[in-house]
Structure 1
Amino acid sequence: MAPLTSIRTSNGKLEIVNQLLLPHTTEYIDINTIEEAHDAIKTMKIRGAPAIASLAALSLSFHISNALAATPSPEFLTSPESLKTYVEPILSFLYTARPTAVNLGAATRRLSKKLQTSFVAGTDVRTIAQQLADEGKLIADEDVGRNEEMSKWGGDWLLKRVGDEGSASGLNVLTVCNTGSLATSGYGTALGLITYLHESGKLDKAYYTQTAPYHQGSRLTALELQTLKIPSVMICDTMVGSLFQHYKIHAVAVGADRIARNGDTANKIGTYNAAVLAARHGIPFIVVAPISTVDLDVADGSGIPIEQRPPLEACLVRGALYTGAGDATNEQAVVMITPRGLDGIYNPSFDVTPAELITAIVTEKGVAVKKPGEVTFDLSGIV
């Protein structure tokens, strides 16, 4: 069965699957404006650092392409200078949608750089605009190939690391949040590694955590694994320690929203908990993410901005109405699961896992491990 798709581009339309309604309802919504793209990212209709970056880049690409086809041409296409003045605030605006996901910043900076380098003497504004639109599409197109490469790097490294410890039926791998095709432009990062092991006949089961109620990660992972027919087990994130005590788990594989220069990694809330428990039980902890996730300008995790979500979100859960007969209806509802008027709610979207708890960091360029006796990474070989 074909994997799910977070973004669709066909017949001149840009669409995303509304992840707030998954896994019970699959509904694609049009993204017609820059403002709609910003809102989709901010309200988490689309999520996953690579997918966010792809949508931002594509929204600008479609916006520019539509302007080039319009009659009469909009005012910002009258000169290279007017194009630059128009586009740069758009890129800044898109960047504000999700502050922790560094891929978004990498995409907007890349588009800004393309805009700057296109200002060659004599180049007309429409040529510059077309180059910018093409660059936006390229950012999204490159993601799938990167994911397949890093998944193979990470999968092969893990198989070699585990060696004879692997069970006859294959490896058991735990993951946190969603890092599959719904979080990327296709195939996935950490979930891509799991898919690679499954396709290679080396996977027994995928385990995935159910995190805070409003975070859709586990539900999306469940849907993706079900679609790909990968044997899997869902657990509550508070049950990870018990799982490690009673079952043989060969590795934990997670994605990342930002990796600092020393290897400290920000990922969905609950990742740090899993890393601490993995270290306690001697289980390899692997971060799988594209190079664009590595932020060499941030020395360590203390410099990573952590997005604080609205407190109310931690009190709400969305789901299909349960019939009481072991099934659910197609009707969905949002319910409050906490008492009214709580004094305080701590609701970060991400936590930071220190490099010392991470066994390996995988990008499309290879696998980085720490030198003997060191607690941080040298990422120069994989960026």
Structure 2
Amino acid sequence: MSGRSSRNTGPTRIEGRQEPLLSLRWSEGKLLMLDQRLLPEEIVFLELTAPEEVWEGIHAMKVRGAPAIGIAAAYGVVLGANSYQGDEDRWLEHVLSTAEYLATSRPTAVNLFWALDRMKERAEQLAAAQHSRELRDEGLLAEAIAIHREDEEVCRKIGEHALPLFTSGMGVLTHCNAGGLATARYGTALAPFYLAQEQGIELKIYADETRPVLQGARLTAFELQQAGIDVTLLCDNMAGLVMSKGWIDAVIVGTDRIAANGDVANKIGTYSLAVLAKAHNIPFYVASPLSTIDLGTESGELIPIEERAEHEVTEGFGKRTAPAGIKVYNPSFDVTPNHLVTAIITEKGIVKPPFRDHLAALFNDKDDSLKSF
């Protein structure tokens, strides 16, 4: 199931400024999902009305980026509740079943499970209060909207905490897409770039293309170029060369899951960048909301790594580039060991080693003020 679609020729401009291209919007009982597989050539919004369509959108990477996946899944629960036609006393069972189904869409990004757990907890509260069916559905929608809005606020805070790490003239390398297309707005790793632009701080951004699906080329380069930010696209295997030339002063990436010890799961190729950064004495930063930190997973070895279809490597974007029948290994993520990570930047501040104690401390203190460890 794919849902209806609508097309735009490009992002909307308002009063001479570029309006951000958002990956997800809720409108009149439907989830509008930007089909990111078609960027940068086409801007297509899918109109989704069923949880099965949201599942397919997440699984097929029409929406991607850990925070955006979680937001989409939350709205998928709402769509499941809205379409329920059965007995009212089985409403909660149906909602919980819908959430469990959506959880099977992708295995690595912890935000998916975090958002679904929030939706399940809210559904249980609404059912226990014996609210009417209408109030239950409205309560679930309010929770999904809250998750969406909170992510935007969190991303801006991450950007505010990260910004002091960068000064005008610095060259910064990023990998995959951890921008507004992967979140509610601003992004995680890209958030300081947008805030730097607001404050007149001139950074030179380098974006890896990010094989095999080219999220860096199709999404990050597109997103930053649309915003008027200085960005240069690189093939993945050029990172070491540009580092050796002294063009890179820092690396910053997003993440799909951080283990309790500070090991970081992110898009395949991140580990290689971290090794190169270490060899060239370049700081390696990870931008992450607290919802992506998984204290229940002790180390990166325990993070499930999604493996994707071989055609992404052998027939990327419809053209065969490898011999028929060749064996393919196509993990979507890798794990960067904590000893290669300079700091983790969250909405509560900058966390440095030892990560196990300092990450746990973020959750022990409910105060949202800046923490630096």
Unaligned runs of 5+ in 1: 68-73, 160-165, 319-333
Alpha-carbon offset, residue 377 of structure 1: 5.9
Equivalent residue number for residue 40 of structure 1: 57
Provide the secondary structure at the position in 2 that maps to 1:20.
Answer: helix
User: Residue 354 in 1 paired to residue 334 in 2?
Assistant: no
Distance 2:356 2:239 in 1: 25
- Assess if the C-alpha contact under 8 Å between 1:355 and 1:377 holds in 2: no
Q: In structure 2, the residue corresponding to 1:247 is in which secondary structure?
A: coil
The number of residue pairs the alignment matches comes to: 346
The structure-2 alpha-carbon separation of the partners of 1:263 and 1:231, relative to structure 1 and needing over 3 Å to count, comes to same
Tell me the SS of whatever aligns to 1:381.
helix
Q: Secondary structure at the match of 1:378?
A: helix
Aligned to 1:101: 109
What aligned pairs does 1:182-331 form with structure 2 within 5 A after superposition?
182-318=181-317
Quick one: structure 1 residues 276 and 377, their matched pair in 2 at CA, closer, same or farther if it must change by over 3 Å? farther
Which of these residues, 323, 346, 353, is aligned with residue 339 of structure 1? 323
Rounded to whole Å, the distance in 2 between the matches of 1:296 and 1:377 is 11
1:380 lines up with 2:363 in the alignment: no
Cα root mean square deviation, aligned: 1.7
- Determine if contact 1:170/1:201 at 8 Å carries over to the other structure: no
Structure 1 or 2, whichever has the larger Rg, is 1
Q: TM-score, normalised by structure 2?
A: 0.88
Are the counterparts in 2 of residues 311 and 347 from structure 1 also a CA contact under 8 Å? yes
CA–CA separation in structure 2 for the residues paired with 1:129 and 1:9? 14
Which of 72, 86, 89 is the equivalent residue of 1:75? 86
Secondary structure of 1:233 counterpart: strand
Contact 2:151 2:184 in 1 (8 A): yes
Q: 1:379 is matched by which residue type in structure 2? A: L
Alpha-carbon distance between aligned partners in 1 of 2:122 and 2:153, rounded to the nearest angstrom: 22
Contact 2:80–2:95 under 8 Å retained in 1: no
With a CA cutoff of 8 Å and minimum separation of 6, indicate the structure with the bigger relative contact order: 1
The range that moved more, 274-283 or 122-131, is 122-131
Match of 1:90 among 98, 101, 108: 98
How far 1:139 moved relative to its partner?
1.1
Structure 1 segments of 4 or more deviating over 6 A?
Answer: none
CA contact (8 A) 1:65 1:130 kept: no
* 1:362–1:368 CA contact under 8 A, matched in 2: yes
- TM-aligned CA distance change 1:122 to 1:50, over 3 Å: closer
1:109-166 Cα deviation digits (max 9, x unpaired): 111111223343554444333322221221112111110011111112x14xxxxxx5
Mapping of residues 3-14 of structure 1, within 5 Å: 3-14=20-31
**Aligned-partner residue type, residue 152 of structure 1:** E
User: Which residue of structure 2 lines up, in the alignment, with residue 142 of structure 1?
Assistant: 150
Deviation at 1:65, TM superposition (A): 4.3
| Aligned residues with identical type, % of pairs | 40
Is contact 2:29–2:49 with CA below 8 Å preserved after alignment? Answer: no
Q: 37-46 or 203-212: which moved more?
A: 203-212
The DSSP-based 3-state class of the residue aligned with 1:4 is coil
Q: Given that residues 208 and 234 in structure 2 are in contact (C-alpha distance below 8 angstroms), is that contact kept between their aligned partners in structure 1?
A: yes
Q: After superposition, what is the alpha-carbon deviation per residue over 1:76-108, rounded to whole angstroms, capped at 9, x for unaligned?
A: 4x22xx111111111011011110010000001
**Deviation at 1:250?**
1.6
1:326 aligns with none
- Per the alignment, residue 347 of structure 2 pairs with 364
Structure 2 residues without counterparts, runs of 5 or longer? 1-17, 364-373
Aligned position for 1:2 = 19
One-letter amino acid of the structure 2 residue matched with residue 117 of structure 1: Q
* 198-207 or 274-283: bigger deviation: 198-207
